Amino acid sequence: MRMYDVIAKKRDGGTLTREEIAFAVNGYVSGDIPDYQMSALLMAIYLRGMTDEETAVLTDVMTHSGDMVDLSAIQGIKVDKHSTGGVGDKTTLVIAPIVAACGVKIAKMSGRGLGHTGGTVDKMESVPGTRTALTQEEFFRQVNEIGISVIGQSGQIAVADKKLYALRDVTATVGCIPLIASSIMSKKLAAGSDAILLDVTMGDGAFMKNLDDAIELARLMVSIGTAHGRKVAALITDMDKPLGHNIGNSLEIAESIAVLRGKGPADLTEVCLQLASNMLVLAGKGTLAECRAMAERTLQDGTAFVKCCQMFAAQDGDVDKVKDPDKLQKAKYSYEITARENGYIAKNDVEKIGNASVLLGAGRIRKEDSIDFAAGIIMHKKLGDRVQSGDSICTFYADDPALFAPAEEMYRGGLIISEEKPKLPPLVYARVTTEGVERF
């Protein structure tokens, strides 16, 4: 078999066999196939697409390209959640404690931020002392004892995905539904949970810009997971505006804790309750309505917050700072972005907001970049809000005041104030299960 022939077949719209897909992926991982040939195949897939069967095979090959985590040593059903990424998306920090407080095991591996999207592991590490790299023995023991652990993803899980994603990132082939689906599901299947809830974000700040593409991605991932014997469902959630008000690592920890204490922003709280209740349904805890009531109770009675504190304590985090987020690291300087005219915020490009936070130091442009945990943005006015000239729209936080000017230019580049109030998108657009698509 020659890589040249595999590339040519897909270039001409052919359907690749399992043997051809395995030859290409495993050959690339081993170093036998060079970057330039795999880049050509990725572009052919981007332009020609893949059948559902091809995508399922690609996922399977990528899943088995590294370690397969066996969670059978953890008692009970294990439920995982994956978000396709966004700005201000701190849902894992809220829903994992909620679900664990309802008696469902959370043995979760999360990623770091890259580009304009934040990473759960970075946010957790903004609480001083927190360890996100545990041994397998520590990880299993913690989940068995307190029902929850969120750690960094092992570098040996879905090794093919790590190599392929790095190549996709520099060859303009990231935004391809079969490649996104196989990337996400290979990691989730290798991570070993019994059930998986997918949070497919849609809008300016997400990979999926329209509802049809988001539903297609969700449908494909649900199909792949089900074929591998997992219970899978997906919610299509909005990313035309950041979730909550805070963007940046310490800032997002503070806002997550506010939600767990029943005092968080309405939009973030609602999305978290919907995600958590769907995870509980997948775990067999009852109907959607019953699971929603269970999730709400954990916020009202404080048990979800207690579970969050237990997790940080078990992973050596400074729980005093979890209980009092005002003690978390603070930036040296702040800067107000104000409205230059009267009207409604008609557009506030989420990707530009995320990139502004990166420029302030809250994220990485390259994987090796360090993060300023205190840097970020607090939004005072969001999409649809009325503003008067001079009103504060948001506050920037950074340790270097020279960062404010480029971040402001980025932020204002996506800001439009208009006399006409925009129509606000729903928080959740649809639910996708093996039974079909339920649009809201």
Kindly list the catalytic residues: 82, 161, 168, 183, 187
The CA-based diameter of the chain, rounded to the nearest angstrom, is 67
Q: Answer whether 189's CB lies under 8 Å from 219's CB.
A: no
- The token duo for 116 is 């304009």
- How far apart (Å, rounded) are the C-alpha atoms in residues 335 and 263? 26
3-class SS shares of the chain: helix, strand, coil, % to 5: 45, 20, 35
DSSP, collapsed to helix, strand or coil, labels residue 348 as: strand
Cα-based distances in Å from 151 to 93, 121, 128, 267: 12, 7, 15, 26
Q: Answer whether 408's CB lies under 8 Å from 396's CB.
A: yes
> In 3D, which of 426, 424, 429 has the Cα closest to residue 386?
424
DSSP, collapsed to helix, strand or coil, labels residue 334 as: strand
Phi, psi of 338 (to 5 degrees): -115, 160
DSSP, collapsed to helix, strand or coil, labels residue 236 as: strand
- The token duo for 274 is 């919907």
- Strand order from edge to edge, sheet including 231-238: 79-83, 195-202, 231-238, 428-433, 436-439
- Strand order from edge to edge, sheet including 376-379: 246-247, 376-379, 392-398, 333-338
Which residues, including other chains, have CB under 8 Å from residue 290's CB and lie 6 or more apart?
A: none
DSSP, collapsed to helix, strand or coil, labels residue 102 as: coil
- How far apart (Å, rounded) are the C-alpha atoms in residues 206 and 154? 25
